[in-house]
Amino acid sequence: MIEAKAVNFAYRRGIPVLKDISCTIPDGEAVALLGHNGSGKTTLSRLFMALDHPRSGQVLVDGRDIIQFEPADLADQIGYVFQNPDLQILGDTVYEEVAYGLKNKKLPKSTIDRQVRDAVEAMGLTPFLDRYPRSLSFGQKRRLGVATALALQPKTLILDEITNGQDEQEKQHMMAYLGKLQEERHMTLILITHDMDIARTYTTHSLVLNNGDLVYDGSTQALFDGVRPVERWGLKQPVLSRICALMKVKEVRTPADLCAKLVLKEGVKP
C-alpha cells in the first residue's frame, strides 16, 4: 500500500508543485493519476518511488516512511516506466537491458533467461532481442521500458504516459496485457495518462491533480458521470462515456460491455 500524508513539494525554484496531498493506493488496485500538463503527476509518482522526497508530510510504502530510502531500496517492490524512455536505457542489447535488474538481484541464470524472454515476448519485442536499444523506434523503446519493469515482477507498477507514441493497435494490445496481468498477479497499477478512454477501461480508481491540488479521489466511473467539472481540470470526457450518455446507458467499463447492454436494450440489434 502507498500512502501520501499531507505531502508538500517544490523544486529548487520554490514554487509549490504539490500542495497538501493525502491519498491512499491500496494493494492490487488499478489507479489512474490524471491532470493537465504540469499539474504534478510525474512529480507525485517520483515521490512514491523515493526519486524525490516531500518538503513536508510523508510518503509511506507498506506503512514505512520512505524519507530515508533511495530508489534502489524500493526497486524490488515498485517498477517505474519513465515518461521519456531514453532516460532509462542502460544496456547494449534489448536482452541485456531487460536482464539488467534481474542480474543485480543475483537470480539463477535460467530464471533470468525465462523472465527476460517472457517479458520481451509480452511486449512484442522478441525479434529485437539482439538490437541496440537506442536504435529502436520511440514506441518500441516505450515497450522496452515496460518489459524491463515487468521482468522484475514488481508488486506495483507505475507507468508514466506509456501509451504515447504507440499506434492504436500496439496501445490496445499493451494495455489489455497489462490489465490482465494486474488482475492475475493482483499487481498495483498506477497509470499516468492523458488518454481518458484508457483510464476508464483499465482503472477503477482515479486521482486528479489540478495545479498541484488533489481535486478528485474516487471511482474512475463516477469521475466521468457528467457531474464533475472534468473539463475545468483539463480532462476530456472519454469517448465511451459520451456514447453512454447519448445512449442513456449506465455502468459500462469497456466497449464490449456497452455492446452487451445495447443488445439487451429494446430495439437495438447486434
Ligand X SMILES: Nc1ncnc2c1ncn2[C@@H]1O[C@H](COP(=O)(O)OP(=O)(O)OP(=O)(O)O)[C@@H](O)[C@H]1O
- Cα separations in angstroms, 24 against 39, 63, 129, 199: 19, 11, 38, 18
Is position 203 an interface residue for Mg ion (rule: CB under 5 A)? Answer: no
Of 34-42, 92-100, 115-123, 139-147: span binding ligand X (CB under 6 A): 34-42
Q: Between 41 and 60, how does the x/- string for binding to Mg ion read (CB under 5 A)?
A: -x------------------
Give the contacts of 241 (CB within 8 A, at least 6 positions apart).
196, 200, 224, 225, 226
DSSP state of 111: H
> Cβ of residue 194: shortest distance to ligand X, in angstroms?
6
Q: Please give the Cα distance from 51 to 247 (Å, whole number).
A: 45
Min dist CB 181 to Mg ion, Å, is 23
Among 37, 68, 110, 169, binds ligand X (CB under 6 A): 37
The type of residue at 94 is V
193 is a site residue for ligand X (CB under 6 A): no
In this complex, which beta carbon is closest to Mg ion, that of residue 91 or of residue 234?
A: 234
Strand ranges for the chain from DSSP E: 2-10, 16-25, 30-35, 56-61, 64-65, 78-81, 156-160, 188-192, 205-210, 213-219
Question: For ligand X, which is the closer residue by CB, 35 or 57?
Answer: 35
Q: Does 17 bind ligand X (CB under 6 A)?
A: yes
* 85 interacts with, out of ligand X, Mg ion, none, CB within 5 to 8 A per kind: none
Residues lying near Mg ion in the complex (CB under 5 A): 42, 83
